[in-house]
Amino acid sequence: MILVMNEALKNIVIVGGGTAGWLTAGIVSAQHNSHLPDGVSITLIESPDIKPIGVGEGTWPTMRNTLEKIGISEDDFFRCTDASFKQGSQFIGWNTGQINDSYYHPFIAPHGFGQTNISANWQQLNNHIPFAHAISFQPYLCDHGCAPKQQQTPEYAGVANYGYHLNAGKFSALLQQHCIEKLGVQHISDDVIKVNGEIEENITSVTTKRNGDISAQLFVDCSGSKSILLGQHYQVPFISKKNILFNDTALAVQVPYSSPDAPIASHTISTAQKAGWIWDIGLPTRRGIGYVYASDYLTDSEAETTLRDYLKQDLPEQIINETVIRKISFTPGHREKFWHKNCVAVGMAAGFLEPLEASALALVELSANMIAKELPANMSIIDITAKRFNQRFHYRWQRIIEFLKLHYLLSKRTDSQYWRDNQSAESVPQRLQELIKLWRFQAPSYNDFSEIEEIFPAASYQYILYGMGFLTEKRSTSTHYDNTALAEKYAVENRQLCEKYLAGLPKNRQLINHILARGNNNNVRSI
């Protein structure tokens, strides 16, 4: 196939499956009517021999809109992916490492945020209550294991904002089935053995082991860390961020609950350790637990001992001894650019960072959405689209890196070299250093961030800052924004909402069981 640069873009090849590949296929095909004769043709080539890593079990609330947009019902999603509700993250031991060292980053913005100086009022009048609890009802829902909605609440709607925890392998299978059966995506199970096209020019086709050459006008690289197209073929450099984010290894396990009716946590639990942190994610059928750590500061053997000690808190020795531990190694960072010529990378092919704030699937969503929304109608403008894409995602990757670093930078822990080094100025991006200086005198606000669709809004920064005990000095002069009476009004309203929702919302497992029973009654097909 010879690419003509003034012709309409009508066909796309995605190299690689997994969640990144199939989610991209779903989003783009739904936007561009791939099931119709005049829609954009999408072909996904997936190696039958490569198994997905199976991590990335947490999503942002954006996933609700994504699933609804591509046409998957929420009931089917829960039934097929072992999903549970996620309403935020709890960070344990991150500030001092002492007893009762805990705070939340919920998905709901502070009540009254942007209307008055809520954080200043909390510091002056209510700092005996943890920040997130004082200005949001959602941490209380998490404390009590409540679901974010009632049984009669419509699909994808909620009393509280929520995302999901899910089984990554089953999610990929659901997306694959839906894309093929409903959205018109063509699936080829084969290995790509060659990329055709000069390095200075566009890719013309990829050669597969059994199906020969497969041509397209646009190629999406979802081949994971191998980055077959962008990394190997085009040799776009990988930019390591290990000097900022030290963690490069994870030990992951899947364990059963102590009993079938055990509560399901409505949030991700992140517990700080000597050289990293342990995630704990509750699904209806099991828990996914893993230790993310820096190999420069901890041996694999030490990490395994720490992980097994964590499991001993509520699991019998026999189950722990039978548990299979998987090791995952990664280099934190991203490609120098994400779209080059007629190739754009999504997922791990573009880069990877530790899963502290579940940014991996969110980045896939954001990438696929921008591809879908700005897909060039004509090949003559593809370079302009690539430039815009690279600008946008360079900005987003830097904001994620800064936000993750904030969790470590603010820590007061000095019990290991790992924590001491994380607090050193040499490991902190310049922009973040400047923001920290700024926030000592004024709270994070919308003015600190320039994008309409910010990766993490100002409210998220406030949750981390004040959850970690950061103090913003009070102005010596008053402003209209410093309205204590209005701030107290919002605080009272938050307490009222808390009482209302705790009384009216079911537990997480209770609602999930109801959804699953409803799906079974409808005789929907399981994957």
Domain ranges of the chain: 11-57+167-239+332-397, 249-329
Looking at residue 523, its pLDDT comes to 43
Instruction: State the burial class of residue 322 (Cβ atoms within 10 Å of its Cβ: 0-12, 13-18, 19+).
Output: exposed
* pLDDT confidence tier of residue 475, bands split at 50, 70 and 90: confident
**Domain spanning 11-57+167-239+332-397: which CATH class is it, in words?**
alpha beta
Helix, strand, coil abundance in the chain, percent, nearest 5? 40, 20, 40
Indicate the SS3 state at residue 200: coil
Average pLDDT score over the chain: 94
218: Cβ–Cβ under 8 A, 6 or more apart, which residues?
Answer: 9, 11, 12, 13, 342, 343, 344, 375, 382
Work out the percent of the chain whose per-residue pLDDT is above 70: 96
Looking at residue 207, its pLDDT comes to 98
Model confidence over 292-332: pLDDT tens digits?
A: 999 999 999 999 999 999 999 989 999 999 999 999 999 99
Say whether pLDDT at 156 is over 70: yes
Model confidence over 360-370: pLDDT tens digits?
A: 999 999 999 99
Summarize the confidence of residues 61-65 as an average pLDDT.
97
Most confident among 55-59, 114-118, 237-241 (mean pLDDT) = 237-241
Question: What DSSP state is assigned to residue 125?
Answer: I
Indicate the SS3 state at residue 98: coil
**d(Cα 234, Cα 324) in Å, to the nearest integer?**
38
Say whether pLDDT at 80 is over 50: yes
511: Cβ–Cβ under 8 A, 6 or more apart, which residues?
Answer: 85, 147, 149, 150, 151
**d(Cα 504, Cα 160) in Å, to the nearest integer?**
12
Looking at residue 3, its pLDDT comes to 62
